[in-house]
Amino acid sequence: VHGVRSGAAAATRGIVNISTVVQHNPAAVKIFCCFWGLLLSVASVLSLLNIIGVEEGQEWGMTETVQSFYTFFFGLLIFFCDAKESWVNACFGAQKKLFHNFHFLATQTGKAFFYFYVGSITLFLLPKSQFWKFTYITLGGVLMLLGAIMLTLRYCTSCCGGARGGDRASG
C-alpha cells in the first residue's frame, strides 16, 4: 500500500512538472491576442443583450444565443492565455491553473488550434443582422489568422528566427 501511494505521489509530481513548461508568443502577438479576445467577449455580451445592431424582426435564435454565450468565455480564455502573467495570476493564480488543467493552451500549437476552433465557430455564426454578420466574420477571420501566425512562429524557424521566446518554465 505504501508503494502504491509513493508511486502515485511521484506520478503526480511528474505531471505537475511537465505542465509548467509554457511556450510564449512575441509581445506583439500577445497584445493582438489579448485585444481580439477581449473584443470577442465584448461583442458577445453586446449581441446577447441586443444593444447594438438590432434590426426590426431580426432577433437572435437559440443557436446564436448559445454560441454567443460560449464565445464570451472563449474570448476571456484567449485573453487569459496571452495576458501578462503577473496580472492574470494575481487573480487566484488563474493563468497557472488554466495552463495546468488545460495544458494544450500552454503551447503555441494548442493555442493555435484553439484559435482556429473559436475563429471557425465565430466566423460561421452568421446571424441575420448584417452588422453582427460582418462583426463575427471579422472576429472569426482575425482569430484564424492569429492561429496561423502562431503555427508559423512555432514551425517556421528559418523564416521567423526560431522560438526565441519559446519554451520557458512558468511557475
- Give residue 102's pLDDT: 85
Strand, coil or helix: 147: helix
Strand, coil or helix: 23: strand
Least confident of 71-80, 98-107, 138-147: 98-107
Candidate ranges 3-7, 123-127, 148-152; pick with highest mean pLDDT: 148-152
pLDDT higher for 139 or 94?
Answer: 139
Per-residue pLDDT band at 1 (split at 50, 70, 90): low
Main-chain dihedrals φ then ψ at residue 165, nearest 5 degrees: -90, 5
Residue 119 has pLDDT above 60, yes or no: yes
With residue 22 as reference, give the H or E element that holds it: strand 21-23
Single-letter amino acid, residue 164: R
Contact 72, 125 (CB under 8 A): no
Mean pLDDT rounded to a whole number for the chain: 79
Single-letter amino acid, residue 49: L
Lookup: cell for 160: 521567423
- Give residue 171's pLDDT: 43
Q: Cβ–Cβ contacts within 10 Å for residue 52, how many?
A: 12
Least confident of 18-22, 41-45, 89-93, 144-148: 18-22
